[in-house]
Structure formats: structure tokens, C-alpha cells
Amino acid sequence: MFRVTLTILCLLFALPVQARSGRQNQFPHGNTIKCDACHTDTWGITDFGFDAYAASTNNVIDWAELSAMDSDRDGYTNGVELGDPNGTWRRGNAQPSGDFWNPGIKDDNPCGNDILEDNEQCDGGVGNDVTCESLGMGVGQVRCSDLCQYTTTFCVKCGDDKINPNLEDCEGSDLDGESCTSLGYKTGALSCDASCKFDLSDCAGVATDCGDDQLQSVEECDTIHLGGMTCALLGYAGGPLDCSVTCKYDTSSCFTDEKNPGPKPGVKTDKEKIDPEGRTNVYGEGSCATLSRSPSFFFFLLAFFVIRRKKLVKQYRK
């Protein structure tokens, strides 16, 4: 019995699948699309073919039932793709007017025909009345996807954990490196409000103190008062140091000599290095005291004594 069943199955799968021409005229535009609606190039059966079989009784397709299905799962019913969205067409009627698409192929559908179907949010563009703000997605530009649905990828919304430098000051606990003092206040805790703007309510000290020609402890400088600081002391080769409107050093005019590059900002030159006793150290990293403990100085003394000893031995032998 098993061998007989296996033989029958093998014969069934070995036989080529053939389209039934009698079914092509049982759905709209079937005589135009022909076999491609139900069969693939490799003699396989499409989902539309399976659905057509399921909606059939005695080899007669119930088009009203089949038209409501979305066989290729592209978001459009078979009725919409074949030009009969309500499933009212019957065998023998004139073919529905207008464009039609193959319901057996997912990528073949009405999206892109510049006509807004019932299941489409957009087609070929987005209306001016549709914005990121109107969709509750912040600000930015709404676009139309390849599936004729709104895409909000280019919308920027407060609360998405990303700081948009053109629209937001902060995001949650991310203050973008700012604080009350960096914004010109003396003390306080900076926070971020629900609209992703700085909340300065806890910052203390009038921000307008900056620019009053009085150098405060929280300021690096104030107008022309630089506290004795220069470009050279900040590690540059030279140039005029300025004070910004936020009472921070403005080093935009400081420069380094290309032929003899200056040190990086914040690094002192050898002549600016001070030893623990406050004396200028012209010997670089070492000092008179530390030179006597360096390995090179030790080998120099050793070589001196060896040469001196050889000379004394020669004189003694003479």
C-alpha cells in the first residue's frame, strides 16, 4: 500500500502544472493576464492561484469572495488590483475600465500611479496639510514611502534621545555638556524641560554679570580683563587673546608658527616650566640637581675616571 501511494505521489509531482484556461475568464482581465496570475515561471502556484482554488466550487470561482482577499499581501485587495474594488464584476460582463495589476505578483500594484486608493496614505507625494507636527511626530518633513504610506524618518521629536542641534538644546538628562556656569550663571543645576529646551529655573546669579568689567571667580575673563592670561601661557606661539561674550577665553586669534610649531593649547614651553622652588628651568625637564642623578651623567663620570686612570698608569711606568 505504501509503495502504491508513493508511486501516485511521484506521478503527481512529476506531471507539469497546467493552467486551466476556463478559469482565466472567471476574474477581471484574466484573459489578459492569463497564466501569470496563478502560476510562476517554474510551474509553481502563486498565492492568488491557491486563493482562487479555495474560492472555487466545482471549478467555478466565487469572484465576490476572491476579490476581497489580498493574495500577494501587498496591501491591495485582488479587486483593487484588477480594477473591481467592490467585487461586483461577473463573468460575461465588460472588463472594468482603467488600469489593473497582477494580483499574483507583490511588487505589481497601484502604488505610484498618482491616484490615492482607499488603503493608501499618499501616492507620488504628501499634501501640504500633512506635516510631522500634524502627525504628532515633532518637526521636519513627512515623505511618501514605496508602499504609499507616510514615513516619518525625517521627523525630529523631542524625547527620541537624540539632540537636534538646530531645534533642541537638550534631551532628557543629556545637556550637551552645558551647565549653569557655562551659560553664564554662578551656581545651580541645569535641567532639560519637556520641550527639549534648557530649564534655567534652578540657576542662580544674574547671567548679565558677564560683561560688567568685573572679573568674577566663575569667569575666565570679562571684556578686556584677562586675568593676566595670554595666548603664550595657553600654549600658543603668540597672538592676541580675546574674551568672548560668555566670558570665556577666545583663542581664535592665537597662532602657532608653522616653521617652528608652538605647543598644543594648555602645554607650557620649556622656558615657561617652573621648578618647585619657583625658578625658571632653562634645562627643560631636568634641573642641576636632577642632572647628577641621570644615567648619562653617571656614564660621563665613569668614562672620565677610566681615561684619567690610563694617563696616570702611563706616567707611572715612565
Q: How confident is the model at residue 176 (pLDDT cuts 50, 70, 90)?
A: very high
Cα(278)–Cα(297) distance, rounded to whole angstroms? 25
Whether 103 contacts 37, CB under 8 Å: yes
User: Tens of pLDDT along 185-222?
Assistant: 888 999 999 888 899 999 887 655 678 888 877 688 98
Percentage of the chain beyond pLDDT 90 is: 20
How many other CB atoms are there within 10 angstroms of residue 100's CB atom? 19
Cβ contacts of 203 within 8 Å, gap of 6 or more? 180, 183, 185, 187, 188, 189, 190
Place of cell 509531482: 13
In this model, does residue 133 exceed pLDDT 90?
no
User: Tens of pLDDT along 214-263?
Assistant: 887 768 898 899 989 999 898 888 899 999 877 889 998 898 865 444 45
Closest CA to 31 of 109, 110, 89, 71: 89
Residues across the chain: 318
In this model, does residue 13 exceed pLDDT 50?
no
Q: Give the range among 112-116, 137-141, 272-276 with minimum mean pLDDT.
A: 272-276
Query: Per-domain residue ranges for the chain?
Result: 17-110
Quote the pLDDT of residue 246: 79
Backbone angles phi, psi at 291, to 5 degrees: -60, -35
Cα(89)–Cα(81) distance, rounded to whole angstroms? 13
In this model, does residue 69 exceed pLDDT 90?
yes
Whether 26 contacts 63, CB under 8 Å: yes
Quote the pLDDT of residue 295: 57
Mapping DSSP onto H, E and C, the string for 163-180 reads: CCCCCCCCECCECCCCCC
User: Tens of pLDDT along 270-312?
Assistant: 444 434 444 444 334 444 444 445 555 556 667 666 676 666 6
**Mean pLDDT score across all residues of the chain:** 77
For 46-80, b where at least 16 C-beta lie within 10 A, e where not — what string?
Answer: bbbbebbeebeeeeebebebbbebbbbebbbbbbb
Quote the pLDDT of residue 37: 83
Q: How confident is the model at residue 170 (pLDDT cuts 50, 70, 90)?
A: very high
Whether 113 contacts 80, CB under 8 Å: no
Average pLDDT on 97-103 reads 89
User: Tens of pLDDT along 46-66?
Assistant: 889 899 889 999 889 999 999
Quote the pLDDT of residue 68: 93
Alpha helices in the chain (DSSP H): 2-14, 21-24, 30-33, 47-54, 63-67, 78-81, 288-291, 295-317
